[in-house]
């Protein structure tokens, strides 16, 4: 009972923070328009819908299983990492999107535009919608979609699909229902693709980020990825500390000031209390790539 109550309180606080965050980013008018879109979807309950984002592309989705709440509500991608990438991107970038879902991050990068995206997604339904979204936005020639899960060792596993597909994850047991999927390591896939360097490695896999990072150790140890964007999770803290020893610096980005807020200690309080607002992703930048990032007009907030 107390555990359910605590979870409900955390969800309410998270939803309130997201509302304030999006409202501050896009303004009251756009938020009211988005509320109208939400109400319309709830009333019509279409099997499929789409939203046209101010970022420049449209996102189609099955309703309600693939419903992207934040883009529909605010008409844009409001997480700080999108503003950061918009400021520092280069047109020759190669991006790896781990946990691509139906494509919001991949499509955003392609519409900046970057050179090429490799999108990894194990859900067959999400892969179909991702391919459809790439085609409808005219970027299918610059994205390669890999129906794979990524982890710390090659394997075959069950991908347990939930009602909200963005919360789906690899099952801990083989005795549950779901899709049979192949699991590979980032290191092996990078070598298979013949990529000497990755410009951006984004990882958002519903809590499995530590496992993916363990399968990317050779890439990171060699400094072959310039920017990492990872869903923030407390189990990942020891991995952040290890990656920092490979020559990466960790930050949160504050879009309104165009500043990176550096994290130098990887305990819970140091990381969570460093967020300038309710950021969900942490950014790591290879030391050798910092000069180019700063040259693009991004500053580091003094500690």
Give the confidence band of 145 by pLDDT, cuts at 50, 70, 90: very high
Please work out, in degrees rounded to the nearest 5, the angle formed at the alpha carbon of residue 188 by the alpha carbons of 186 and 192. 115
Is the pLDDT assigned to residue 203 strictly greater than 70? yes
Is the pLDDT assigned to residue 169 strictly greater than 80? no
Of residues 159 and 42, more confidence is placed in 42
- Which two tokens mark 263? 């994290």
Among 145-149, 160-164, 176-180, 281-285, the least confident range? 160-164
Q: Are 237 and 133 in contact (CB under 8 A)?
A: no
Is the pLDDT assigned to residue 132 strictly greater than 60? yes
| 153 CB neighbour count, 10 Å cutoff | 11
Give the confidence band of 4 by pLDDT, cuts at 50, 70, 90: low
Backbone angles phi, psi at 254, to 5 degrees: -110, 100
Q: Are 283 and 81 in contact (CB under 8 A)?
A: yes
With pLDDT > 70 as the criterion, what percentage of the chain qualifies?
88
Give the confidence band of 12 by pLDDT, cuts at 50, 70, 90: low
Mean pLDDT over 168-184 rounds to 72
Q: What does the pLDDT read at residue 206?
A: 86
Write the burial class of residue 192 (CB in 10 Å: 0-12 exposed, 13-18 middle, 19+ buried). Answer: exposed
With pLDDT > 90 as the criterion, what percentage of the chain qualifies?
72
Q: What does the pLDDT read at residue 13?
A: 63
Is the pLDDT assigned to residue 85 strictly greater than 70? yes
Q: What does the pLDDT read at residue 20?
A: 78
Is the pLDDT assigned to residue 162 strictly greater than 90? no
Q: Are 231 and 280 in contact (CB under 8 A)?
A: yes
Is the pLDDT assigned to residue 214 strictly greater than 90? yes
Q: What does the pLDDT read at residue 22?
A: 82
- Pick one of 2.40.110.20, 3.40.640.10, 3.30.70.260, 3.40.50.150 as the CATH number of 79-301: 3.40.50.150
Q: What does the pLDDT read at residue 176?
A: 64
38-61 pLDDT tens trace = 999 999 999 999 999 988 899 999
Q: What does the pLDDT read at residue 166?
A: 54
Of residues 182 and 176, more confidence is placed in 182
Task: Give the start-to-end residue ranges of the domains of the chain.
Answer: 1-76, 79-301
pTM: 0.92
Residue 143: helix, strand or coil by DSSP?
strand
């Amino acid at each position: 009972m107390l555990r359910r109550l605590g979870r409900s309180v955390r969800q309410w606080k998270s939803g309130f923070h997201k509302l304030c965050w999006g409202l501050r980013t896009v303004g009251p008018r756009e938020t009211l328009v988005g509320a109208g879109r939400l109400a319309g979807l709830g009333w019509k309950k279409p099997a499929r819908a789409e939203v046209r984002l101010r970022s420049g592309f449209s996102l189609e989705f099955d309703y309600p299983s693939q419903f992207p709440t934040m883009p529909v509500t605010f008409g844009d991608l409001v997480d700080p990492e999108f503003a950061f990438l918009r400021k520092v991107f280069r047109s020759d970038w190669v991006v790896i999107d781990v946990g691509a879902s139906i494509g919001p991050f991949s499509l955003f990068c392609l519409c900046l535009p970057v050179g090429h995206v490799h999108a990894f997604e194990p859900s067959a339904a999400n892969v179909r919608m991702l391919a459809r979204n790439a085609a409808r936005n005219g970027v299918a020639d610059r994205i390669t979609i890999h129906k794979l899960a990524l982890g710390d060792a090659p394997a075959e596993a069950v991908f347990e699909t939930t009602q909200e597909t963005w919360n789906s994850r690899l099952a801990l047991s083989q005795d549950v229902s779901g899709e049979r999927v192949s699991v590979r390591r980032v290191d092996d896939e990078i070598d298979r693709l013949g990529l000497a360097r990755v410009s951006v490695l984004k990882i958002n896999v519903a809590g499995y980020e530590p496992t993916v990072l363990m399968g990317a150790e050779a890439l990171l140890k060699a400094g072959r990825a310039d920017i990492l964007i990872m869903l923030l999770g407390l189990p990942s803290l020891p991995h952040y500390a290890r990656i920092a020893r490979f020559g990466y610096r960790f930050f949160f980005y504050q879009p309104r000031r165009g500043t990176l807020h550096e994290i130098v200690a990887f305990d819970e309080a140091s990381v969570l209390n460093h967020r300038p607002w309710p950021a969900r992703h942490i950014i790591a930048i290879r030391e050798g790539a910092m000069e180019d990032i700063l040259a693009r007009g991004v500053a580091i907030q003094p500690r």
